[in-house]
Chain A
């Protein structure tokens, strides 16, 4: 009898262990607290010198940017000896998101970084859309209003209004932009084959055929991580959807005026399918993001679909490589194809209920001084959001600037507001061309598009 009882006890204990692992709330908050505490050393400890006021900054790990910030912190502490900056970094993505949530809700941070500016805020035509984290924080009074801070004027007004303003008030500083709708190309391979940078889709396909005929892999993409496949698609979407007015198309899809399986949306999928079927490296679905640049840098592939942020990685992988960048020529209209699509990167928020709000303002002001900002933006490799900044980067000044004069469009993943519980073929603000053959199950673009439209309708709010 006792033996039986003990088995029952044992199995129920195992089960509880399991549910405790899977359980929501308490685990989430505690776990992140612990991890960020570990990363910070010991944030609860009083500063050694007693009098100094601590400014707590939270950021994710990204070596080049972290170094630049640490430099700025050092200069800041020299200029304002009464402050001590405590700069905590965690792993990127999920780990960071957890740390962010835990620290902001605990009031244990003064300045925190977020990715991609303010985005995905529900509109009146998006009933039932999820409210993003940053907006919930602002609505619950956790984020400081920066509208009256003089340093906001240092930034380009358009960038501030696009990526830092909510309900008419400035809450965030977008510190840089990245472009991602294009290809890095190997100049030597292009020259040897008498190719120039293609400006229309037909030219592009012709160039790809020429390269392929020489037994050089035309394009490499890190398909295993899936998201790199979205990058050329962002270019296609921005130029094709809504005849080039993507925002109108997105609003239309919510209102039922445009569809995922209408002509334009299918054209986007179809063009990407053409690339995947014929010109992107075989077995691209097995190549991860860390490996892909080396395939391009060693000259095995003529182009790589990647964001401008990866230029330093490519340059490091092969310092002798001569490479440029061009936006995907999505349509037959060369003038339309000429601009880049991208997003905002590191965006600063200041906490309203942090331990040292006044210090946070001082730090942001110091950061925004053109001299410090220039050092930062150069190290990060971003396109600056302050005007008249010398990036000192040949890549940005020579390769990208011709494409920046015609405007800069935000990518689909930034503009799109998804429906709650939308199916996997539309999840995470993407259209998921990985589901197309050869890797995926859909033989034609139309088949995938039909499923997407069905999933979109199924996720409609009741």
Chain B
């Protein structure tokens, strides 16, 4: 009952917790709060250059300057990316998870294959798909030509590059969502299906009302992960098109302004804050919606 004893030593566990808490505040929470503060200043990366509070000037630059149109485009593109990735990735993942959960022969093999891209990492995935999508010698273009007599520029096309990035993103992380669904599926008690069978449910009904309701927690987790993941994606864009050909997203803009732009850090901080607020809104709405339909039998 009292593993640390009674009296003052009861507080030992709390003291121990202080260490990670301090680290968290120092390296996570602190910088995050500082980002918000910096977004109202003209801070630069130069030591000794000082900083001044300049009110909302950085935010004004984000939304009302020469290239704000592109920033708004980036935001719209991010939302589009998020919707497609979340819906398609989770849809496919759920389907694959249900199929694998049928106790197929070699389900371990399939599970490993579908999960593999997650392990590969972004750089390798980007390289693989850049080669697949090579317009001169890549296999995909040859397939296109054989099937439709059509050639594409893939990551070099203004109109299609973003679509291919969405495809690669889904390809890469589908296995991750699948695994979470699979864990959820395996926790559904068999008796419920038997009970349903006795009551004469169709396959669809038993999926819709038993499976789908009971895996709601994994559904919530998956949705959250893909919403946040998709909204903060910049690595795959950096590695495939480097933001060219209408593929910039909010997160990519933040990266670019921070590490490749000028020495000014105020504007990128403001961009981060805007990005944070947009994600926050979507996450809150999504959590509220999905919490509602989680059930327990």
Chain A residues close to B by CB (< 8 Å): 4, 7-8, 11, 14-29, 94, 97-98, 101, 105, 130, 133, 136-137, 140, 223-224, 226, 282-283, 285-288, 291, 419-424, 427, 434-435, 439-441, 455, 458-460
Chain B residues close to A by CB (< 8 Å): 27-29, 31-32, 34-35, 38, 43-49, 61, 65-70, 130, 134-136, 151, 153-158, 220, 224-225, 228, 231-232, 244, 251, 254-255, 258-260, 262-263, 265, 268-269, 271-273, 275-276, 279-280, 283, 287, 291
- Tell me whether B31 and A23 are in contact (CB under 8 A): yes
Give, as a whole number of angstroms, the nearest-CB distance from B166 to chain A.
18
Give, as a whole number of angstroms, the nearest-CB distance from B85 to chain A.
15
**Chain B residue contacts of A21, Cβ below 8 A:** 232
**Chain A residue contacts of B158, Cβ below 8 A:** 435, 439-441
Q: Is the interface of B mostly helix, strand, loop or mixed?
A: helix
CB pairs A–B below 8 angstroms (17 shown): A16-B28, A19-B275, A22-B272, A23-B32, A29-B45, A223-B156, A226-B244, A282-B151, A283-B151, A285-B135, A286-B157, A419-B66, A421-B67, A421-B68, A422-B67, A424-B67, A440-B158
Give, as a whole number of angstroms, the nearest-CB distance from A143 to chain B.
12
Known: A16-B29, A24-B35. A459 touches B136 (CB 8 A): no
**Chain B residue contacts of A8, Cβ below 8 A:** 287
- Tell me whether A24 and B156 are in contact (CB under 8 A): no
Q: Which 5 pairs between the two chains have the least Cβ-Cβ distance?
A: A459-B66, A286-B135, A285-B156, A23-B35, A286-B156
Q: Is the interface of A mostly helix, strand, loop or mixed?
A: helix
A295's nearest neighbour on chain B, judged by CB, is B136
In angstroms, Cα B38 to Cα A196, docked, is 60
**Chain A residue contacts of B27, Cβ below 8 A:** 20
Q: Which of B48, B134, B232, B287 contacts A11 (CB 8 A)?
A: B287
A287's nearest neighbour on chain B, judged by CB, is B136
- Tell me whether A97 and B260 are in contact (CB under 8 A): yes
- Tell me whether B66 and A24 are in contact (CB under 8 A): no
Known: A14-B228, A18-B279, A24-B38. A287 touches B287 (CB 8 A): no
- Tell me whether A133 and B263 are in contact (CB under 8 A): yes
Give, as a whole number of angstroms, the nearest-CB distance from B28 to chain A.
5
- Tell me whether B265 and A28 are in contact (CB under 8 A): yes
A458's nearest neighbour on chain B, judged by CB, is B66
Known: A17-B28, A20-B32, A24-B272. A105 touches B45 (CB 8 A): yes
**Chain A residue contacts of B46, Cβ below 8 A:** 105, 136-137, 140
**Chain B residue contacts of A29, Cβ below 8 A:** 45
In angstroms, Cα B29 to Cα A41, docked, is 31
In angstroms, Cα B246 to Cα A434, docked, is 12
In angstroms, Cα B251 to Cα A28, docked, is 15
**Chain A residue contacts of B220, Cβ below 8 A:** 7
Known: A19-B272, A22-B275, A419-B66. A97 touches B259 (CB 8 A): yes
